Chains A and B, each alone.
Chain A
Amino acid sequence: MPLLDIRNLSVSIPTPDGDVHAVRAVSLEIERGEIHGVIGESGCGKTMTGMAVLGLVPKGARIAADRFHFDGEDLSDHAGRLRGRRIGLISQDPAAALNPVLSIARQMDDVIRAHRSLPRKARRAEAAALLAATGLPDPEKVLKSYPHQLSGGMQQRVVIAQALATGADFLIADEPTTALDVSVGAQVLDLLRRLVAERGLTVLMITHDMDVIAEACDRATVLYAGRSVETGPVAGVLKQPGHPYTRALLAALPDAAPPGARLAAIDGSIPAPRSVITGCAFAARCPQAMPLCSAEPPPERRRDAHRWLCHLPEDAA
């Protein structure tokens, strides 16, 4: 049984001008101990999927799913309880994720106190230990600092330490390296891999960066316009992509391009979030589109554990 098991998740946000379909049909199966990458362009619904798992969707948003389970518990009912206990978050921009006007000590302490009843001194020691575990060289000094006094890498480590402090075994890492220098980003990814190995964590890695997928993940899921269009082991997805979108993503990434380059070079734009999509969402941009593509939802194709949704026959991939 996967730790996280999602089938056909949809999240829609009502607005005066009609519903915004942030997530349309996402399916995810994440096994214990893996780092599972979720990749897609901005607006594809990857962050919203993470938020839905955390139970932090915007007010009034509607969540529906055929299955929405975490370790056997239905997230529709228990997201609030699991959040911060079993499920943790590592935010995109560590500078924004830390409260600018509170000291690190205070912010660490708040988290520890929320989960364990320890005396003050013990909490302080625990905070220092957690910071040390993330590879910060001088935890005591960090504790006395304010966020703006730390470098981006250090901030991200603090954020990870906070996530560890909750005792969560499942972390959602939302673009953990985007705001960082390349070398620092790589260190953070190494840290995450190490923590997964040492502490038996499971990580849902949200990213738009193929390099992150390649470097850090075991398996990956590609999202497009709020749907999961392809999923499978990283090797398969990267080497033998099934979906034309994945192929376009990879093609748009020239070998010479610096790692971390944005995914932007595909012609056309993603469907408007308010639109209703009947067929394949990628049909309008797909170089191989057929009339059938925009009329009917594509069927699932699979090659071992590697699955994707497309009207094109399997061998066309």
Chain B
Amino acid sequence: MNRRNFLKTTALAALAATSARWNLAMAAGTGSILTLAHPTSFPDLDPATSFSNDGAVLANVYEGLARYIPATETAPAKIEPLLATSWDISEDGKTWTFHLRDGVKFHDGSPLTSEAVKGSIERTRKIGGGASFIWGSVTAIETPEPLKVVFTLSEPQPLDLVASAGFAAWIYAPSSFGKDNAWFNAGNDAGTGPFRISRYQPGQRAVLDRVEGYWGKVPEGAFQTVSFEVVEDATLAQNMIESGQADWTYSLPYENLEALKSNPNLDVVVNPSFETLFGLYNVKRAPLDKVKVRQALSLAFPYDDVIAAGTSGFATRAKGVVPAGIWGHDADAPVPKTDLEAAKALLAEEGIEPGLELVMTYSTSQSLEAVAGELWKANLETLGITLTLQPMAWEAQWQLAKSSPEAAQNIFVMFWWPTFVTPYDYLFNLFHSEEKPNFNLGYYSNADVDAKIEEAAKLSGTDRARAEKLFIEAQRKIIEDAAAVFMVDQPNVHVIRKDVKGYTDNPAYGHVTFVNELSR
């Protein structure tokens, strides 16, 4: 220890001469720079097609009509006005009128108008990429007044939730409607948000500078510049946050979080996320076409061990597919507990002999999926079932699953997060009958569940309480059918420097930091 410190000190002293000058110069400036270390790059900065981690950048450059604020212990969830100050819904839930905020300017200086809103959503829909399908039920957009937009829907839909989505719901300046994807990805922007992109190095960083005359409130000591650094390596990210080179990061190994918690300079912010991990059983391929076999597998899943070993106890047990924090979450869902004896009995009932072989596919890049698989495999081994773990590139895994029920895997493990905050997003995509499945990769089909999901969807704009009840009923049916094994709700763990004030995590916008609200 002494020796190491000695070496360190001498080495530092030797370098002091060269580096002292500019370190000093930098120290003066860093106060107004916020550095966010992101583990993945920002593939698409086009507000129409962005559908990935790029949302973290865009959410500081663009704004939607509204923003979802999740429930806290003291307050229920709400949808906060943003570019719209208020909105009205017609009786039948098919006509939505949004009143726009006055005095908002785009970064190019043009004012926010109903035409801009209409044009943005139309461009987004016309390109048809990313999450543009969220506007699928909109049949017409009218602009009766400069600050008033009227949406007509084909069927009732919670358009307030759609309008506050983290993807495809951004409003951008009319001057950019004619621009193509490449223009945006060259680092240009056309938003109303507090920051604009000043420099973009794909795969490395995006640097944003504060825009003069932002309409919203700017706290004292707010940041002038924010740098989104792409740091794929968790070791490096951890090193940066510990040394103060980064102010915020996530996706560090759970095992290292205890040590970070005790670091006086850091806050470890743990929050439920809207991401949930589950395995879809292929119900069209024997022997998982039998409910009892599926139930047995779910009983053999080591729920607590996965939380302990895979997430160091940070995650929580999944209660069905809709995670905690989203309306429609079923806190009392009758999910199974690990019980190998019961599993054995069920298998015996169906006459399953030892020697059964099953294939589980998961995405190469997801280490938690691998841990879950390895632990599950060990449990199944005691039941005489061999589980082959098949890590694949996501596209390949998906491709195999879609090919045909006979050729596909037995168990498809994946994470799901909602495009916008509604249980419909989980239930419809994953469990609603599909002719040619896109994400219903277990080929699950149940008319009763389909009906409940469809009806709940229609009600979610107008009668959210009833919709929620229907969604929960559908989920219970799915659990009863053991269509999937619900593993864990992934926690959001963000590590942030203590001197950064005003941080809250909003799981509706995955890993987005609203920098305008922060200060040092």
Q: Do any CB atoms of chain A lie under 8 A from CB atoms of chain B in the complex?
A: no
A: residues with CB less than 8 A from B are none
Contact residues of B with A, CB < 8 Å?
none
